[in-house]
Structure 1
Amino acid sequence: MAKKRELTKDERILKEDKRLRKIYKDIDKDKQALIDGLISRAAYMRITLEDYENDIMQNGYFEMFTQSEKTDPYERERPVARLYNTMNKNYQSIIKQLSDLLPKDTEVVEDDGFDKFLAAR
């Protein structure tokens, strides 16, 4: 069985961008211009977050660090972990904005006859 080729970061971003655009294809034209930038940013952020996650899984959240050879090393948060946390928060915010633009599902409540029962009394 042939091994599947790894997609480049740009290809993965484009794939995510298309996936998101498919979800938001039915948004009215007035809002479409608003969401174009959000979708592009969300796609980039999601793929970058996946890359950060892989790095963190391989190398951990913390590393040993020292300012000089004269001081003992100490454990500190790796810069990629800090970047991940910040970008994840921003990504969640963009996804929330996009989700708020989706049409609200109208909930269909099945009539159980209770209102008719009360009216009859």
Structure 2
Amino acid sequence: MEKDKVIDISTDMKKLRTILRKLPKDKVTVVEPLFKELEFMQRTLESLKKEIETIGVVTEFKNGRQDFLKENPALKSYTALIQKYGNIYKQVTSLLPKDDGKSEDELIEFIKK
């Protein structure tokens, strides 16, 4: 993995950030740290995904003269992180304003489903 390579956050995350800016100040103070974690997790997930696609789900492991196949550690990390990402994403979206019939934003509608 290249550590100096910057991975952009997705368009959906950019739209979500725009929506979050419209929240009341008391909710923003709760949501902002969670959103920053989501951004970090998304970048990390993308890096892990690229590594899994490049190396594969199993890697060769040498123990003395014997070769073994074992699960790619990136896959294990990806699996654990994607679950945590989903939980935090749900937390953030639960703090979004409830639909009052005025919202036409497609992302909000998607998230609420």
Residue 105 in 1 paired to residue 99 in 2? yes
> Given the alignment, which residue of 64, 78, 89 partners 1:84?
78
Q: Structure 2: which 5+ residue stretches go unaligned?
A: 102-113
Higher share in strand: 2
Q: Using structure 2 for the length normalisation, give the TM-score.
A: 0.73
Q: Distance in 1 between matches of 2:48 and 2:62?
A: 23
**Match in the other structure for 2:17:** 21
The structure that has the greater radius of gyration is 1
Pairs aligned (count): 97
Q: Structure 1: which 5+ residue stretches go unaligned?
A: 1-6, 108-121
Q: Distance in 1 between matches of 2:5 and 2:72?
A: 25
Q: Distance in 2 between matches of 1:96 and 1:23?
A: 15
Q: Distance in 2 between matches of 1:106 and 1:34?
A: 22
**Match in the other structure for 2:48:** 52
Q: Distance in 1 between matches of 2:5 and 2:53?
A: 20
> What percentage of aligned pairs have identical amino acids?
28
Amino acid at match of 2:91: Q
| Root mean square deviation of aligned Cα | 2.5
1:55-100, Cα deviation, whole Å (9 max, x unpaired): 111111111223322xx32221111111111111111111010110
Amino acid at match of 1:58: T
Q: Distance in 1 between matches of 2:93 and 2:69?
A: 39
Detail structure 1 runs of 4+ shifted over 3 Å in the superposition.
none
**Match in the other structure for 2:111:** none
Of the two structures, which has the highest relative contact order with CA contacts closer than 8 Å and spacing of 6 or more? 2
